[in-house]
């Protein structure tokens, strides 16, 4: 059939055809000249789908679908190329928007490199197997933070907390080891336990205007 088509056509030429079969970048097309095989041109980023009307170029080396002219609105559009793809704006900004959402999916690595980055969302959910954060400074301003974790380890050179109220509920035990430990309470300091032990290798001093024991 290809030879019959070649005899009918004056090379090179273009015509409109309908996609009746898709196999990778290979296409089966039907036009007024008959059915024939073609390949998607490198410049045709929109993948042709069954039923699409495409512009075809015939030449001595074969036939190529140059562009998708018409398609059913219900058919999802897919842009694809073979090999690496780079989308660049030589000047100005590049925007990606979607009314119902935007998905970035890759089985490999996703990298964002920017002079500054900002995330704004009504809600954000992150599920991460391993997270490493490296930075010079971190500032967070939130109304409420809730953390549920199996294990938390914090290593810092200096830690400062400024709180209006603090509540700690520890089910089993708490251990604090320090070279120097100081507690200061402006109004009252209350220690209540079934057993209280105070041990010191040197001086133990209790000083107060009134001291009640027992």
- DSSP code for 100: S
Per-residue pLDDT of the chain (214 residues; tens, 9 = 90+): 555 555 455 567 899 999 999 998 899 999 988 999 999 999 999 999 999 999 999 988 899 999 999 998 888 888 888 888 899 999 999 999 999 999 999 999 999 999 888 888 888 888 888 888 888 888 888 888 888 888 888 988 999 999 999 999 999 999 999 999 999 999 999 999 999 999 999 999 999 899 888 7
Residue 114 has which token pair? 């920017």
Classified as helix, coil or strand, 140 is coil
What pLDDT score was predicted for residue 91? 93
d(CA 78, CA 81): 10
As a residue count, the chain comes to 214
Residue 38 has which token pair? 């073609």
Task: Find how far residue 117's CA is from the centre of its chain.
Answer: 13
Task: Find how far residue 26's CA is from the centre of its chain.
Answer: 33
Note the pTM of the prediction, 2 decimals. 0.61
d(CA 56, CA 63): 7
Torsion, CA 180, CA 184, CA 190, CA 196, rounded to 10: 10
- Tell me the backbone φ, ψ of residue 6, rounded to 5 degrees: -60, -35
Residues 166-195 pLDDT 10s: 999 999 999 999 999 999 999 999 999 999
């Amino acid at each position: 059939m290809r030879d019959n088509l070649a005899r009918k056509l004056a090379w090179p030429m273009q015509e409109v055809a309908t996609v009746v079969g898709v196999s990778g970048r290979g296409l089966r097309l039907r036009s007024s000249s008959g059915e024939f095989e073609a390949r998607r041109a490198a410049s045709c980023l929109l993948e042709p789908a069954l039923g699409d009307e495409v512009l075809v170029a015939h030449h001595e080396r074969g036939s190529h679908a140059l562009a998708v002219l018409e398609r059913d609105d219900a058919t999802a559009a897919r842009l694809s190329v073979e090999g690496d793809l780079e989308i660049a704006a030589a000047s100005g900004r590049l925007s990606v928007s979607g009314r119902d959402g935007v998905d970035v999916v890759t089985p490999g690595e996703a990298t964002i490199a920017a002079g500054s980055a900002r995330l704004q969302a009504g809600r954000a959910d992150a599920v991460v197997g391993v997270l490493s954060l490296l930075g010079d400074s971190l500032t967070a301003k939130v109304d409420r933070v809730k953390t549920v974790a199996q294990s938390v380890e914090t290593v810092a050179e200096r830690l400062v907390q400024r709180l209006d109220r603090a509540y700690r509920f520890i089910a089993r035990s708490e251990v604090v080891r320090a070279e120097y430990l100081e507690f200061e309470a402006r109004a009252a300091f209350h220690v209540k336990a079934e057993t209280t032990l105070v041990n010191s290798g040197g001086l133990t001093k209790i000083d107060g205007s009134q001291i009640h024991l027992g």
